[in-house]
Structure 1
Amino acid sequence: MRRRFLLLSPAPALFSPQRLGAQEPVTVFAAASLTDALRELGRSWEARGNSAPRLSFAASSALARQIEQGAPADLFMSADEPWADYLAERGLLAEGTRSSPLGNALVLVAPADRARAVDLARGTDMLALLGGGRLATGDPSNVPAGRYAREALTWMGQWDRIAPRLARADNVRSALLLVERGEAPLGIVYATDAMASPGVRVIGTFPPESHTAITYPFALTRRGAGNNRARALLEFLRGPEAAGAWQRFGFSMR
């Protein structure tokens, strides 16, 4: 009896592990204050024929700890240097990929319908400005915006008086929301966050000398070190094409 054999063709390349991996988006862990600008830049990156990046926003502290615990991030974008240092000291950032291309300013905001300009100088009475309310900002124990706020209030000689009156938010956008809703009469946020919200108005800008310079370190993680797509995205985000978008959203280029 003649036997018949069925010849099996190789599986289509579409289903190979290599092909699936090539289509996997780059995962970006980014500070909450980068939300609007980075979403726009993600769309620009996708329009160039790339897979849309997977974006995760939160306080830099929360993101750094998630990476430490094994979260699959390829790129880390922090709102301060200490949380990038935290990961670098643990060997979780790719060497030679870190730079800090962006800067920001620290501002005092109030609900737009009751905003009145104030002078933020040494000795300014913040309690008088607050009235009976609380001052919204990121939690100074771990959120970068809160750390900058604590430095600025200390420089003003107001920290000890204001600390018990803080509304401590888990990230800067949450602090902004408290002011937008009128749940806090004042908030300390970044200038870029204030620009993003029609519900608040900047009533004062803290002098640069009142706090550490606000910088945003970008770096590949150890997981993303060998990912050429992640490396290309990093170069795009800190390159000349992205600079216009960052500046349009209020960031300064360094």
Structure 2
Amino acid sequence: MARFLHLFALLFALLLTPAAIAQERGPVVLAAASLQESLTEAANAWAAKGHAKPVLSFAASSALARQVIAGAPADLFLSADEPWMDAVAKAGMLRAGTRATLLGNRLVLIAPAASRTKLTIARGFPLARALGTGRLALADPDAVPAGKYAKAALSRLGVWTGVVAKVAPAENVRAALALVERGAAPLGIVYATDARASKAVRVAGTFPATSHPPIRYPVALLKASRHKDAAAFRTFLFSKQGRAIFARHGFSAP
């Protein structure tokens, strides 16, 4: 709760500072943590066209959705799953007709770069044995999309009950990635794009797409948005240039 209130306060402060009032700012975009590198590149490309650079705020989709529902000032929301976008829609916070699926992703098992661990991920695969006395890093499996996908996959593959006591839950997928990067956990589950963004980890296995719900990233304008560039920036994300940026970072078409 304290972290949520802190993020909420930061958003208000961002919009109310004299500097922000004195000069034009870009639309405020709340986006899933896994989009950090790709969306930042997209925002820079948009700004290079002469537009005000979008203001990006990254966190777990669950935390961002709660901020939107609580009334945080923002223009666009990009979630790492459909259920949290559904929650925002149910609260009546989306601009009608603007919700669409932007991206897809894959789920992978990661290990530190120096590790030699390699697993074929299939039903009953020896994950608990591979962990030994170590922990399994993943985003909060009860709320954060990456963690929910991970729990769904491990459950379907019949290994969740054998590793649940070893789970080290993190506040978002990048926090889970960091646990493996610094060696605090021998294995973790993140998106393929997160693993690609880090030189400190390697992919130890890829989850079958059929082992979990499809990983989709919906985007929508928020009903309270008043920024003149918000709709145009959303359109840019779906453009040929925008899609090429996301593809370079490993995202797939939905």
Shared fold (TM-score, shorter chain, > 0.5): yes
Structure 1 gap segments, 5+ residues each = 1-19
The CA distance in 2 between the partners of 1:140 and 1:49, in whole Å, is: 41
Contact 2:25 2:54 in 1 (8 A): no
Which residue number corresponds to residue 227 of structure 2?
Answer: 227
CA distance in 1 between counterparts of 2:51 and 2:180 reads 38
C-alpha deviation, 1:22, in angstroms: 8.5
State the secondary structure of the residue aligned to 1:122. Answer: coil
Distance 1:92 1:21, change over 3 A: farther
2-side partners of 1:23 and 1:116: how far apart?
Answer: 50
- Counterparts of 2:138 and 2:84 in 1: how far apart (Å)? 18
- Aligned twin of 1:56: 57
Unaligned runs of 5+ in 2: 1-20
- The TM-score, its normalising length taken from structure 1, stands at 0.90
Q: What is the CA deviation profile of residues 202-226 of structure 1, one whole-angstrom value per residue up to 9, with x for unaligned ones? A: 01000011000000000001112x5
Indicate the residue corresponding to 1:238 in structure 2: 238
Larger Rg: 1
Q: 2:247 is aligned with what amino acid? A: Q
How many aligned residue pairs are there?
A: 234
Deviation at 1:116, TM superposition (A): 2.5
TM-score (norm 2): 0.90
Partner residue in 2 for 1:151: 152
TM-superposed CA distance for 1:25, in Å, is 1.9
Specify the alignment match of 1:124 in structure 2: 125
Q: Is the 8 A contact 2:34 2:191 kept in 1?
A: yes
Aligned ranges 1:173-188 → 2 under 5 Å: 173-188=174-189
Q: Is the 8 A contact 1:103 1:214 kept in 2?
A: yes
- Give the 3-state SS of the residue equivalent to 2:30 in structure 1: strand
What percent of counterpart residues are identical? 52
Q: What does residue range 17-96 of structure 1 map to in structure 2 within 5 Å?
A: 23-96=24-97
What is the alpha-carbon distance in structure 2 between the residues aligned to residue 22 and residue 82 of structure 1?
36
Is the aligned partner of 1:189 residue 2:186? Answer: no
Q: What one-letter code is carried by the residue in structure 1 that aligns with 2:194?
A: D
Contact 1:115 / 1:201 at 8 angstroms: preserved in 2? no
Give how far 1:21 is off. 9.1
Letter aligned with residue 237 of structure 2: L
Secondary structure at the counterpart of residue 228 of structure 1:
coil
In structure 2, the partner of 1:141 is: 142
Residue type of the alignment partner of 2:127: M
Q: CA offset at residue 69 of structure 1?
A: 1.0
Task: Report the Cα offset of residue 123 of structure 1.
Answer: 0.7
